[in-house]
Amino acid sequence: MKNPSSKTVWPSFLLYGFVTSVCFVLGAPVWLVGLLTGSEKWRSRLGSIPVSPRNAGAGSSAGKKRVWVHASSVGEVRAAAKLVREMCRNPGVEVVFSTMTVTGSRVARDSVQGPAAFFFLPLDVPFVVWRALRRIEADSLVLVETELWPCLVVMAKRDGVKVVVVNSKVSDRSRRRYAMFGFLFRGVFGSVDAVMAQNERNAGRFELLGTPRERITVTGNTKQDAQPEEVGGLGMRHRMGWGAEDVVVTAGSTRPNEEAALCAGFASARASAPGLRLVLAPRHMGRVEYVSKIVNSNGLTQARWSRVKAATADEGRGASVLLLDTIGDLVAAYSESDLAFVGGTLSGHGGHNILEPAAAGLPILAGTSRENIEDDAAVLERRGALVTVENSSRVAEVLAALALSKEDRERRSKEALDFYRSRPVASLKTLEHLKRIGVV
């Protein structure tokens, strides 16, 4: 199949548009309730975007390039934060910013500086996307990582909007899924004007999916540019009554099955290293109650951070496990920790953010599922900053060894921090390429 031009609408796209339109009608009770309750999310999702018209007069966006940046959720928002901040420094550019999730929207409004408007991504239904495009009037659409929605991409291109993907990545699992629906997505991947990939492996996957190689450039992973080492602590140790000699391991973005292995290994390691303390930060807050039961089943005392930080008395003081049941506190928890576990690596999810614990200078434990973080994990392991744990027995062995050797922890900590600080600034490389192709 040839790469489609900006004026082409192929039969598979028409079928996709028909199916999404039918789903839209069938889902009317959901979005009608959202509208009736005055939900900002549903107004945006239906194409009513809170963006000022381009011709609103002096002091507005008139005469500026308008760039629509879309980042799905928290991870993508953080990956885009520095890039968007740098884009907004250009007086000739106006950025409007969309997200998919409520949490992503909250984080974007708190941490992304400069956009003229924040809103939720419109539903990928032809007439909704048409309405949103008319309202936003963007010159360019910048998609973070792999947010390639068929209606959005095709209709933006047909309207003459330049479509680019930054910090782009496609896991091997996702590549196979896209390939299964190649009759639709090959045209979508072939429509984008430019792809700025995290590494050569991801660049190759975009090419296999239909993006011409000459449109693909490797600019690195912008998530490294969030500089989380500058974040202050939570006062976690003090509130929990954990002393300077206690060894705190924070397990970030944990998934199902991981907490059981971590708690079992942690309980076993405490037999020889009683100063160990564990912070569990589930990937999804809806799982906190379930995780709490796992902690109890291993005979461990626990506290919840939401209650500890709100309490005036010694709530949870002295407990060996802290459940981090609040959003946005993980990086701060890393800053008060001695060790870290990267979630998603024991559960088959490919691994979550490994740069945040590295930036905090923490020795890292990780399972063998590392598809999303394979390049960084490989370098960290070669440097001795990362130790592989395949199961609860290995977790126990590694935690006990590291807890009992401050010298070993300090050596691994230095390697993690040196690795993080030596990485190039991917956001600035991405920005330079955006300038070259006329986006900013």
pLDDT score, position 310: 87
State whether 318 and 194 are in the same domain. Answer: no
**Chain length of the chain:** 440
CA dist., res. 413 & res. 418, Å (int): 9
List, edge to edge, every strand of the sheet that includes 65-70: 117-120, 93-99, 65-70, 140-144, 162-168, 194-197, 216-218
Overall domain count for the chain: 2
Residue 55 within a domain? no
Instruction: Judge whether residue 320 has pLDDT over 90.
Output: yes
pLDDT score, position 173: 83
Instruction: Judge whether residue 385 has pLDDT over 50.
Output: yes
pLDDT score, position 61: 62
Instruction: Judge whether residue 359 has pLDDT over 60.
Output: yes
Instruction: Report the CATH number that the domain containing residue 265 is assigned in CATH.
Output: 3.40.50.2000
State whether 197 and 75 are in the same domain. Answer: yes
Instruction: Judge whether residue 57 has pLDDT over 60.
Output: no
State whether 113 and 86 are in the same domain. Answer: yes
Residue 47 within a domain? no
CA dist., res. 299 & res. 128, Å (int): 53
- Confidence (pTM): 0.74
Cα 215 off chain centre by: 24
Virtual CA dihedral for 118, 124, 127, 130, nearest 10 degrees? Answer: 50
State whether 82 and 117 are in the same domain. Answer: yes
Token digits of residue 322: 């802290």
State whether 254 and 333 are in the same domain. Answer: yes
State whether 247 and 206 are in the same domain. Answer: no
Tell me the average pLDDT of the chain: 91
327 falls in which pLDDT band (50, 70, 90)? confident
How confident is the model over 260-279, as pLDDT tens digits? 999 999 999 999 999 999 99
State whether 372 and 249 are in the same domain. Answer: yes
Q: If you average pLDDT over residues 402-410, what whole number do you get?
A: 98
Q: If you average pLDDT over residues 210-220, what whole number do you get?
A: 96
State whether 271 and 393 are in the same domain. Answer: yes
229 falls in which pLDDT band (50, 70, 90)? very low
Instruction: Report the CATH number that the domain containing residue 207 is assigned in CATH.
Output: 3.40.50.11720
Q: Which domain holds residue 253?
A: 228-421
63 falls in which pLDDT band (50, 70, 90)? confident
User: Is 204 or 61 the better-scoring residue by pLDDT?
Assistant: 204
Residue 51 within a domain? no
56 falls in which pLDDT band (50, 70, 90)? low
302 falls in which pLDDT band (50, 70, 90)? very high
Say which amino acid occupies 3: N
Residue 48 within a domain? no
How confident is the model over 154-186, as pLDDT tens digits? 999 999 999 999 999 998 888 999 999 888 899
4 falls in which pLDDT band (50, 70, 90)? very low
Token digits of residue 352: 């979550």
Residue whose C-alpha is closest to residue 198's, from 172, 169, 223, 159: 169
Residue 325 within a domain? yes
Cα 39 off chain centre by: 24
State whether 264 and 401 are in the same domain. Answer: yes
Instruction: Judge whether residue 230 has pLDDT over 60.
Output: no
State whether 234 and 215 are in the same domain. Answer: no
Q: Which of 99-103, 260-264, 336-340, 395-399 bottoms out in mean pLDDT, i.e. has the lowest?
A: 99-103
State whether 246 and 374 are in the same domain. Answer: yes
37 falls in which pLDDT band (50, 70, 90)? confident
State whether 182 and 299 are in the same domain. Answer: no
